[in-house]
Structure 1
Amino acid sequence: MSSNREQFRPDGHDNDHFLLTTVVGSYPKPKWLDRANDLHEDPDADFGDEELAEAEDDAARLITEEHERAGLDVVVDGEMRRNEMVEFFADRIEGYEFNGPVKVWGHNYFDKPSVVSDVSYDESWLVDEYEFTAGVADSPVKVPITGPYTLASWSFNEAYDGDDELAYDLADLVNEEIEKLVDAGARYIQIDEPALATTPDDHAIVGECLERIAAGIPDDVRIGLHVCYGDYSRIYPEILEFPVDEFDLELANGDYEQLDVFTDPEFSKDLALGVVDAHVAEVESVEEIERNIRKGLEVVPPERLTVSPDCGVKLLPREVAYGKMANLVEAARNVEADLDDGSIDVPAAPADD
């Protein structure tokens, strides 16, 4: 089942066991990049598209290298070129238009778009971003993409009879984009569907979307699904039918109260477990993260466990985000060593069919 995971093991990895370490996606932007965006939006400032692109390249290079310095096995650029997870993609999909900012939580806003005509695929959304990141990274690069269900649910639908039909059309567009990413060399794609946890009765719609997304994608391309902040018992075990390799789940924020949900029936996919809390601006100790990783081993054997933050960490202070990543990696390597010397009991891996 996990045949596409071993490709991400670093050459010369110190331990026999391998817990894949990565991030969900977003990361705090350097303050100077925020100022560059402000200048770009100021009509009186001499700061055009070329200057902004240079700033984004510099930030993407910096954060990619920061992820590698923390020791992560699979990196991203921290989504330095993206403003918001729906807005960024809606701006690149034909059929969307924008109406102005909508408050979502606290003091955070996003420009909630409307779908005013049938959606269609024009130019690639992420290939340039991926190629740049892969060009500056020594490590494999993961590509997060906001999923079609969330793109539909978090938009005003003025063109389709139902959000499900909109989501299915968007899924076909995501499939086109992934095909282009695969052609460019991407081997790890993460579909972000936070809306699933808030409207879990629609898991069948998400499943159909994922069937469309995965159609024709080679088996060596790892497809993950990120879901966060909801009642997982309302989508489990149905999500095990989804055509993905890995489920990336937020569980640290809830102190693993929902962990038992995934033990009955047996969790049959790979698990990307959130082991640091993206909403707490304090760096967890290595020892605490080790305990959290061991909780994941109650659900899946180590060869099917990925270690990551709960969610994107863009709202944290940058030094805190880095500290969490560095401690996450150190904790994962320590748990691998404990597995190697037999000091951790783990469930047996199921026999291959």
Structure 2
Amino acid sequence: MSRNPENREQFRPENHPSDHFLLTTVVGSYPKPKWLNRAGELAEDEESKFDADDLHEAHDDACRLITEEHERAGLDTVVDGEMRREEMVEFFAHRIDGYEFHGPVKVWGHNYFDKPSVVDAVEYDEPWLVDEFEFTAAAAERPVKVPITGPYTLANWAFNEHYDTEEDLAYALADLVNEEVEKLVEAGARYVQIDEPALATTPDDHAIVGECLERIVAGIDEEVRIGLHVCYGDYSRIYPEINDYPIDEFDVELCNGDYEQIETFADGQFAPDLALGVVDAHTAEVEPVEDIKENILQGLKVVPPEKLTVSPDCGLKLLPRDIAYGKMENMVEAARQVEAELDAGDISVESVRAPADD
């Protein structure tokens, strides 16, 4: 169930050239400048004179740079590319009382993940993202979206050594996320994205995620846009259940799978807005504008233009930076062209939605 179908319009830029508006954004992560990675290495080197204050300044500089890069590409809502974050669970686990780290765990192949353990009741201490948001908002000329790793993933991707069940842990974390969102809203945030990649790997727990979301949005003004990002997986195992989630937008990764699953949502009953990945975060090549336009039309099979958000499939941090920028720039250009063609009547939503054999 959509919390407020009207809260999307606040992100329409002034003097937008078209009557139609496809909201353009990014999922979150973005390639770090090479010098920032070097700065992190220097800060960890005991023999280096580069200290924590220097690293903080480097993070500030990178956040300004990437935020400006997003704006230069034309995005309607921007993030700082998560320049201050590393892995999506570790960042938050370091900031939540009750978590401990005991070293990396091998997860696949030769890849390791610094998987934390929950050894005590999780508690909220200092804000996690408020300073980050306020800095980015001050640097940006466009609205800033805030991605937060969701409580189900924070629970599922950790060892539970305290709570009776993982479900209990997820609900406790959801209450903490609610506190954080409240503080972000007080600081001026109007667009929050909850990232739950673990849902795609354990879809039978969709009811737990639904309850987590109910706790997260409790008391949050409906003018604040709440998105849910779930990358990869068999979406048919969580649809139509997601229609009951208290969200404004459901963000899916379908470009990498050539939209084989788009029909899962094209039953005419899809309730939230659709945030559709229209460029592939896994390929190091920039898709042509015409190809991206065709991908955008896939979204119009599910929702009308006023309910469609356009984004990359997932975070772009593993791509070369010039490729990531090219994808964003072409994605925005494709969206603006589709808007103009919708205005002119050159694209008919009805014909896009018609079955192929009609």
Sort the TM-score into its range (normalised by shorter chain).
Answer: over 0.9
**Match 2:190 to one of 187, 191, 200:** 187
Match of 1:18 in 2: 21
1:290 aligns with 2:263: no
1:83 aligns with 2:86: yes
Unaligned runs of 5+ in 1: 349-353
**Structure 2 CA distance, aligned partners of 1:265 and 1:302?**
14
Match of 2:206 in 1: 203
**Structure 2 CA distance, aligned partners of 1:75 and 1:240?**
26
The AA in structure 2 aligned to 1:171 is A
- Bigger shift: residues 72-81 or 46-55: 46-55
1:36 aligns with 2:39: yes
Match of 1:240 in 2: 243
Matches within 5 A, 1:152-167: 152-167=155-170
- Bigger shift: residues 31-40 or 184-193: 31-40
Match of 1:58 in 2: 61
Residue 186 of structure 1 aligns to a residue whose secondary structure is: coil
**Structure 2 CA distance, aligned partners of 1:167 and 1:117?**
14
Match of 2:355 in 1: none
Match of 2:305 in 1: 302
Matches within 5 A, 1:202-221: 202-221=205-224
Matches within 5 A, 1:262-273: 262-264=265-267, 266-273=269-276
**Structure 2 CA distance, aligned partners of 1:108 and 1:178?**
32
Deviation at 1:347, TM superposition (A): 4.7
**Structure 1 CA distance, aligned partners of 2:36 and 2:21?**
35
Deviation at 1:265, TM superposition (A): 5.2
Unaligned runs of 5+ in 2: 352-358
**Structure 2 CA distance, aligned partners of 1:304 and 1:249?**
14
1:194-244, CA deviations, whole angstroms, 9 ceiling, x for partnerless residues? 000110000000000000000000010000000011000000000110000
Residue 102 of structure 2 aligns to a residue whose secondary structure is: strand
- Bigger shift: residues 265-274 or 68-77: 265-274
Matches within 5 A, 1:306-317: 306-317=309-320
Deviation at 1:68, TM superposition (A): 0.3
Match of 2:71 in 1: 68
Task: Calculate the TM-score normalised by the size of structure 1.
Answer: 0.97
The AA in structure 1 aligned to 2:80 is D
Deviation at 1:99, TM superposition (A): 1.2
The AA in structure 2 aligned to 1:156 is F
Considering only aligned residues, what root-mean-square deviation do their CA atoms show, in Å? 1.1
Residue 100 of structure 1 aligns to a residue whose secondary structure is: coil
**Structure 1 CA distance, aligned partners of 2:108 and 2:292?**
28
Deviation at 1:107, TM superposition (A): 5.0
1:25–1:312: 8 Å Cα contact kept in structure 2?
Answer: yes
Match of 2:335 in 1: 332
**Structure 1 CA distance, aligned partners of 2:348 and 2:203?**
34
Match of 1:150 in 2: 153
Task: Calculate the TM-score normalised by the size of structure 2.
Answer: 0.96
1:301–1:347: 8 Å Cα contact kept in structure 2?
Answer: no
**Structure 2 CA distance, aligned partners of 1:225 and 1:46?**
42
1:300–1:347: 8 Å Cα contact kept in structure 2?
Answer: no
**Structure 2 CA distance, aligned partners of 1:233 and 1:146?**
23
CA distance 1:258–1:15, shift in 2 (3 Å): same
**Structure 2 CA distance, aligned partners of 1:137 and 1:326?**
17
Residue 255 of structure 2 aligns to a residue whose secondary structure is: coil
Deviation at 1:43, TM superposition (A): 1.4
CA distance 1:315–1:105, shift in 2 (3 Å): farther
Residue 115 of structure 2 aligns to a residue whose secondary structure is: strand
**Structure 1 CA distance, aligned partners of 2:16 and 2:269?**
30
- Bigger shift: residues 241-250 or 109-118: 109-118
**Structure 1 CA distance, aligned partners of 2:111 and 2:321?**
18
Matches within 5 A, 1:101-120: 101-105=104-108, 108-120=111-123
Deviation at 1:263, TM superposition (A): 1.6
**Structure 2 CA distance, aligned partners of 1:273 and 1:347?**
19
**Structure 2 CA distance, aligned partners of 1:105 and 1:132?**
36
- Name the % identity: 75
1:70–1:329: 8 Å Cα contact kept in structure 2?
Answer: yes
**Structure 1 CA distance, aligned partners of 2:170 and 2:268?**
29
Matches within 5 A, 1:169-188: 169-188=172-191
Residue 104 of structure 2 aligns to a residue whose secondary structure is: strand
**Structure 2 CA distance, aligned partners of 1:43 and 1:74?**
39
- Bigger shift: residues 124-133 or 262-271: 262-271
Deviation at 1:105, TM superposition (A): 4.6
2:268–2:302: 8 Å Cα contact kept in structure 1?
Answer: no
**Match 1:275 to one of 274, 278, 289:** 278
**Structure 1 CA distance, aligned partners of 2:135 and 2:156?**
31
